[in-house]
Structures are given as C-alpha cells and as structure tokens.
Amino acid sequence: MNIGHMDRRIALQSTTLTTNDYGQRVASWATYATVWASIKYKGGSEKVTDDQVGSTQTVDFTIRYSTDVSGVKASHRLVYNSQNYEILYVQEIGRKEGLILVCELRSA
C-alpha cells in the first residue's frame, strides 16, 4: 500500500439519535473520523424509473488502518467532495495494514 497516493480527504460518519424542537428522536449523521484516502473509480450504471434518470457509481476508497477507523461498517457513510457515498462493504488489507471501503454514489 503506497501512502503517497492517499491524497484525498474523506470523512466517515455514523448515525446518531438527536432530539428535535418537538421532542421527537430523529437520526442525524455525525463525523467520527476524517482521514486521507486514495480513490479508484470502478464503474457505474444508469437506469430510468418512472421517467426519472438515476445513476450509480462504484468507488473504492483505500485508507490506512487505525483505531479511529477500525469500527467502520456498512451502516456508516463516507463523505467526499460534499457528496455522500453509501458504504457497501469493508475489506481489510493484510493484517490491519489498511482498509478498502467499497462505496456507491447514487444520484436521483
């Protein structure tokens, strides 16, 4: 793993429950780690549903392993360039050397 290629700043977020002005519990996203990553675009697709064009793009983000990111899972999300990526799965590189976050960017 070449850390010189990790030149993109990403934020990892998880959901937290907060209380709104009416006292109701609502889910919101909170950043728990901001790290450097390398990015690899894997491909995408486009489809039309109900006269709406929607596209998806699959992207791999590679990050270094640390205790801050050791708990990342598919229920979290990744933010890069102000866009929210859904984490599909997490793949470990070596023995806690790094993580590959396989993500998907969807547009409506």
40 or 53, higher pLDDT? 40
Beta carbons of 81 and 92 less than 8 angstroms apart: no
Which segment of 12-16, 52-56, 81-85, 89-93 scores lowest on mean pLDDT?
A: 52-56
In the three-class reduction of DSSP (H, G, I as helix; E, B as strand; rest coil), residue 5 is classed as helix
Bridge partners of 60, per DSSP, are 40, 102
The pLDDT value given to residue 102: 95
Global pTM value: 0.82
The pLDDT value given to residue 50: 67
Q: What is the pLDDT of residues 27-45, one digit of tens each?
A: 899 999 999 999 999 877 7
Domains and their CATH numbers in the chain: 3-107 (2.40.10.270)
Cα–Cα distance measured from residue 70 to residue 65, given in angstroms and rounded to the nearest whole number: 7
Confidence of residue 100 (pLDDT cuts 50, 70, 90): very high
